[in-house]
Amino acid sequence: MHRLWAIIERELRRFRRNPTMIVLSLLLPIIQLCILGYAFGGNVKDLKVGIVDQDHGLQAVRVRELAGAVRAGARTFETVDYADSGRALTDLRNGRIQAVLVIPPDFSRRVHQRNEPRLALIEDNTDSFVSATIVAQFNSLLSAFHIPVPPPRIAAQASLEVVEIYPYVPYVQYLLPGSIVMSIFTMVMIGGGINFVDDKAHGLHEGYLVTPVTRFELIAGFNTAGTIKAVVAGAALVVVGSLIAGVPNPFDPLRLLRLGVVVLVTAFALISLMFLLMVRTSNPMVPRAMFGVLSTVLYFPSGAVYPQQGFPAWLRAIAVLDPFTYSVHALRSLLLKNTGFVAISGDLLYLILFSAVAMTAATLLFKRTL
């Protein structure tokens, strides 16, 4: 057993002497969390919507007032008045404005007559996020337009009251679980895979193989050391990431304990995967090339950045096998919903099974000779 500890001690001493490795493996996920979290998480603002009022009636003025109020409130867009639709459409094509609202000549009359009054919204749909935002804003605006003053005692139409069971979750918090898993994965790649193959190429493993260290001690030593390094990275991201993303009550001891368990199980699952991929590799270029491919294949299908419900079937199939999926789900449950182990037991079970299969396969492939 002392030989096993000697391998772990050697790896951890080297790890401690390499602050660059630690910084690098934390830097990527933190940058990703900040950039992606704030790039995708905010509401679209300061768009320009042209208004062509061909009606000039009382109801048209109400619509224009409501549209103008958006500028002062949500600031989704500001309005620009156009005398004719031709000019407005030219500006729309040239990108000066993002949509044109046309109020037709008989709009006010139809409103009074309750004769299907219509407005036309012509939008630049090359940017689906922008066009969806403008449509949503106008739908909300028209809801306000329809509310009679004063409101009737008995509502004529069924309406939906939305109740959110958790506090508002900014996108940066939604992204945090993926960033924690990414930090574990980055350390597994740099401190695990790349380190392992580099040592092999430089003959350091030859040094191990001529000592009386057993096959079990070698495998257990490499993987325990790799897991410890990855847990350090994951734990650091749990703390730093929670502070950056503003997770409420980030140092709840019970939640930290549960997070620690998920980080540990994730680290072991990913180091098992890495050991399986690298056990017969001797070319140092392989883990480096694999880093980019694996981080894309594992990170994006996991639901870390976008709900898996929006994926096509083939991508869902990858997501089902992807260990990131279960780690992200477990971490999200703990961080955003503060659930207990019951809610994440399925995730933990999959990660443990995944580790067992990968580690068994890697052990069978591991050679005690060169």
Partner 1 sequence: MNAIEVRNIVKHFGQFVAVNGVSFDVAAGEIFGLLGPNGAGKSTLIRILTTLLPPTSGSATIAGFDIVSQSHEVRSSIGVIPQAMTSDLDLSVHENLLIFAKLYGVPRAVRAGLIHDLLEAVELLQWADKPVKLLSGGMRRRVEIARGLVSQPRVLFLDEPTTGLDPVSRVAVWEMLQRIKSRSELTVLLTTHYMDEADRLCDRIAIVDHGELKALDSPMKLKASVAGTNVIEVSFATPPPTWALTLRALPEVDDVTSEDGVFRIRSRNGPGTTMKIMEAASGAQVSVLSLAVQSTTLDDVFMHCTGRALRDELQKPDAIESPFLVRRG
The residues that touch partner 1, with contacts defined as CB under 8 A, are: 2-3, 5-7, 9-10, 13-14, 17-18, 201-204, 206-214, 282-284, 369-370
* Alpha-helical segments (H) within the chain: 2-16, 19-41, 58-72, 85-93, 107-113, 128-146, 171-187, 195-201, 204-209, 215-245, 253-278, 285-299, 313-321, 323-337, 341-365
The nearer residue to partner 1, 71 or 205, going by C-beta atoms, is: 205
DSSP, collapsed to helix, strand or coil, labels residue 95 as: coil
Q: How far apart are CA 298 and CA 113, in angstroms?
A: 58
Report DSSP letters for 300-323, one per residue: GGGTSSS-GGGS-HHHHHHHHH-H
Q: How far apart are CA 176 and CA 62, in angstroms?
A: 43
Q: How far is the CB of 368 from partner 1 (least distance, A)?
A: 8
Quote the DSSP letter at residue 283.
-
Q: How far is the CB of 315 from partner 1 (least distance, A)?
A: 36
* Residue indicated by tokens 């694996």: 294
The tokens for 167 are 């506090």
The nearer residue to partner 1, 201 or 256, going by C-beta atoms, is: 201
Element (H, E) at 49: strand 47-53
The nearer residue to partner 1, 13 or 45, going by C-beta atoms, is: 13
The nearer residue to partner 1, 18 or 85, going by C-beta atoms, is: 18
Q: How far is the CB of 271 from partner 1 (least distance, A)?
A: 21
Q: Nearest CA to 183 among 341, 339, 31?
A: 31
The nearer residue to partner 1, 6 or 256, going by C-beta atoms, is: 6
Q: Nearest CA to 135 among 121, 146, 147, 145?
A: 121
Q: How far is the CB of 2 from partner 1 (least distance, A)?
A: 6
Q: How far is the CB of 278 from partner 1 (least distance, A)?
A: 14
Q: How far apart are CA 218 and CA 196, in angstroms?
A: 12
Q: How far is the CB of 280 from partner 1 (least distance, A)?
A: 13
The nearer residue to partner 1, 6 or 352, going by C-beta atoms, is: 6
The nearer residue to partner 1, 65 or 206, going by C-beta atoms, is: 206
Q: How far is the CB of 215 from partner 1 (least distance, A)?
A: 10
